């Protein structure tokens, strides 16, 4: 299915399309690297994981700051409340994210993949655990080759136990974004967690364990759509990670004392450390490949070797295709300017739209326990919970009315409907109707909420009136 021919291997091995697609996956043991880019990635991993695990515990105005409360159909993001009808803003935010991805890819290649993608972030965390338990790359390879004895079982069991525990904690945190995490924690401690909540904790935990522990680079190569189409977004002026072939070739092993000029060798000592460091198992010296996630581990690895050889750094480095060919690189080019303008325009309009949202909302929830009841006066009564949301900058007093049912009477348990700025007021409303006028088991009816001081602030929501059909 992949129409791109793999780069020809300089060693002349039969690296055809077929062998690439049909060969069995070789387990990759990425070598630990240290250096500038490794530090940036560690910074990215710690920041993003920190945000992920801490965010659900942050409180804002007496409730969880970020909560996509699916059971209640409300999304809380700090001071803002979003309702299902606000889906358009989510769509706009996703479009914004896509444009940001276009912009950064055109500018600097796969920055996202190398430093911020959840797949990279969790894989890094899992690799870190694996190295602490199994040891560095050579120890890991030795352990895998050794026959199954007690020590091997012990080490492997420890690793998987730690991985699974971390994954389940990840799954629990994930579910904590969709239902209040404090309630979830209490439910877990008291063993009263609901079946579906438990299912999603295990599902997300299993996905984390599978993707970061087992699948790793295969997710990037076979499952990620971005990896396939990112080549359409980069051009000759985008930053890419590349091997400087002119300087490196002809490659070859040599003693440190050898003068490369005299022996006719390039700077590449063919140590293969860049290949060992690569989390997707490619050789950067073969050129730009779609498997490269731009993590720059090979840059750090090679710079380390260059330092030891007392050669200048940068045999593998961030560069552009134009610079590699000795041409001038244009950072400010039409593509970047157009993407940047679109990104700015979209960002401004999305946030302006969110800020200028209709500052009033009403949610009508029918009492679920009883469909209807008969009052002492012989009327049919339905009970509703009304959630009134004031997104305006000042408090308002509202009036509430109903339409659609003949002679329906609205009874509230409050005298004055007052909602503070940015607050949600929950009130109980009873609607009473004469059974003689009820024609269908379920009738439509509208609740209208209007601000008394500003009649332009008005919203109508549908409610449903349930009752016995007369004469039956």
Partner 1 sequence: MHTFQKVSAVFWPAFIVSVVASVILFSIIDPLSLFYTYDISRLAIYSISFLFLWLITALSSAITLYFIYPCKSHVEYD
Residue with the two structure tokens 């029918």: 366
Between the CA of residue 60 and those of 77, 179, 289, 314, 416, what are the distances in Å? 9, 15, 46, 48, 27
Measured from the CB of residue 183, what is the shortest distance to partner 1 in angstroms? 13
Does 371 help bind partner 1 (rule: CB under 8 A)? yes
Whichever of 109 and 467 has its CB closer to partner 1, that residue is 467
Instruction: Name the residue with tokens 């012989």.
Output: 378
Selected range binding partner 1 among 19-27, 35-43, 113-121, 148-156, rule: CB under 8 A: 19-27
Whole-number minimum distance, CB 196 to partner 1, in Å?
5
Nearer to partner 1, 72 or 127 (CB): 72
Cα three-residue angle 401-402-407, rounded to 5 degrees: 115
Helix (H) or strand (E) holding 116: none
- Asked if 464 is part of the footprint of partner 1 (rule: CB under 8 A), the reply reads yes
Burial of residue 423 (CB within 10 Å: 0-12, 13-18, 19+) is middle
Tokens of 395: 């408090």
In which element (H, E) is residue 388 found? strand 380-390
CA distance 135 to 150: 17
Q: What's the rounded Cα separation, in Å, for the pair 6 and 13?
A: 12
Residue 179 in the binding site for partner 1 (CB under 8 A) = yes
Contact region with partner 1 (CB under 8 A), list: 41-49, 68-76, 98-106, 310-318: 68-76
Cβ at position 71, least distance to partner 1 in Å: 5
How many angstroms separate the Cα of 385 from the Cα of each of 138, 180, 282, 404? 64, 20, 60, 18
Is residue 71 at the binding interface for partner 1, with CB under 8 A as the rule?
yes
Q: How far is the CB of 26 from partner 1 (least distance, A)?
A: 12
| Residue number with CB closer to partner 1 (78 or 199) | 199
Largest CA distance in the chain: 109
Strand 396-403 with 417-419, pairing:
antiparallel
Shortest Cβ distance from residue 193 to partner 1 (Å)?
A: 12
- Number of Cβ atoms within 10 Å of the Cβ of 308: 11
Stretch that binds partner 1, among 4-12, 34-42, 293-301, 364-372 (CB under 8 A): 364-372
Bridge partners of 361, per DSSP, are 389
The single-letter DSSP state of residue 327 is P
Least separation in angstroms between residue 302's CB and partner 1 is 30
Q: Quick check: 437 and 469 in contact, CB under 8 A?
A: no
Q: Which of 34, 73, 154, 308 binds partner 1 (CB under 8 A)?
A: 73
Task: State yes or no: residue 218 binds partner 1 (CB under 8 A).
Answer: yes
Residue 199 binds partner 1, judged by CB under 8 A: yes
Using CB under 8 A, which of the segments 189-197, 267-275, 347-355, 406-414 binds partner 1? 189-197
Question: Which residue has tokens 């790359």?
Answer: 137
**Residue 229 binds to partner 1 (criterion: CB under 8 A):** no
Quick check: 222 binds partner 1 (CB under 8 A)?
A: yes
Sign, CA torsion 380/382/383/384:
negative
85 contacts partner 1 (rule: CB under 8 A) = yes
CB distance 468 to 380 below 8 Å = yes
Which part of the chain contacts partner 1 (CB under 8 A), choosing from 20-28, 132-140, 314-322, 377-385?
Answer: 20-28
Contacts of 312 by beta carbon, 8 Å cutoff, 6+ apart:
306
Q: Which is nearer to partner 1, 161 or 196 (CB)?
A: 196
Please state the closest distance from residue 466 (CB atom) to partner 1, in A: 8
Q: What mask of x and - would describe binding to partner 1 in positions 24 to 53, judged by CB under 8 A?
A: -x----------------------------
Among residues 178, 207, 175, the alpha carbon closest in space to that of 188 is found at: 175
**Binding mask of the shown chain, residues 135 to 174, with x at each position contacting partner 1 by CB under 8 A:** ----------------------------------------
Binding site for partner 1 (CB under 8 A): 1, 21-22, 25, 70-71, 73, 84-85, 87, 90, 179, 194-197, 199-200, 215, 218, 222-223, 366, 368, 371, 464
């Amino acid at each position: 299915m992949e129409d791109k021919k793999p780069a020809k291997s300089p060693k002349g091995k039969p690296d055809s399309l077929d062998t690439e697609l049909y060969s069995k996956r070789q387990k990759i043991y990425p070598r630990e690297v240290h250096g500038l880019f490794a530090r940036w990635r560690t910074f990215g991993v710690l920041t993003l994981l920190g945000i992920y695990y801490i965010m659900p515990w942050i409180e804002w105005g007496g409730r969880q700051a970020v909560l996509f409360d699916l059971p209640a159909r409300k999304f809380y993001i700090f001071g803002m409340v979003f309702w299902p009808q606000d889906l358009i803003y989510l769509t706009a935010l996703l479009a914004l994210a896509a444009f940001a991805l276009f912009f950064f890819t055109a500018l600097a290649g796969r920055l996202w993949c190398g430093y911020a993608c959840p797949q990279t972030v969790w894989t890094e965390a899992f690799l870190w655990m694996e190295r602490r338990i199994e040891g560095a790359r050579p120890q890991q390879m030795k352990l895998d080759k050794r026959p199954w004895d007690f020590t091997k079982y012990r080490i492997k069991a420890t690793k998987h136990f730690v991985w699974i525990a971390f994954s389940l904690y990840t799954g629990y945190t994930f579910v904590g974004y969709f239902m209040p995490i404090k309630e979830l924690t209490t439910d877990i401690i008291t063993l009263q967690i609901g079946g579906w909540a438990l299912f999603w904790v295990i599902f997300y935990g299993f996905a984390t364990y599978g993707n970061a522990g087992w699948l790793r680079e295969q997710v990037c190569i076979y499952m990620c759509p971005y990896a396939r189409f990112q080549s359409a977004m980069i051009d000759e002026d985008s930053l890419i990670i590349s091997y400087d072939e002119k300087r490196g070739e002809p490659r070859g092993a040599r003693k440190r004392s050898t003068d490369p000029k005299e022996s006719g060798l390039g700077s590449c000592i063919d140590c293969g450390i860049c290949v060992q460091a690569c989390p997707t198992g490619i050789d950067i010296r073969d050129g730009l490949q779609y498997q490269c996630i731009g993590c720059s581990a090979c840059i750090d690895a090679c710079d380390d070797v260059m330092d030891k050889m007392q050669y200048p750094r940068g045999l593998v480095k961030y560069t552009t295709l134009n610079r590699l060919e000795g041409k001038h690189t244009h950072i400010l080019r039409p593509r970047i300017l157009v993407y940047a303008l679109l990104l700015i325009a979209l960002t401004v309009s999305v946030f302006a739209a969110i800020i200028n949202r209709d500052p009033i909302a009403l949610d009508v929830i029918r009492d679920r326990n009883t469909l209807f009841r008969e009052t002492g006066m012989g009327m049919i009564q339905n009970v509703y919970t009304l959630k009134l949301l004031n997104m305006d900058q000042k408090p308002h007093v509202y009036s509430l009315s109903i339409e659609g049912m003949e002679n329906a009477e609205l009874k509230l348990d409050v005298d004055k409907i007052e909602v503070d700025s940015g607050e949600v007021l929950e009130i109980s409303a009873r609607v009473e109707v004469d059974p003689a006028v009820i024609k269908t088991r379920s009738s439509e009816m509208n609740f209208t909420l209007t601000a008394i001081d500003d009649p332009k602030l008005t919203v109508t929501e549908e409610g449903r009136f349930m009752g016995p059909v007369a004469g039956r």
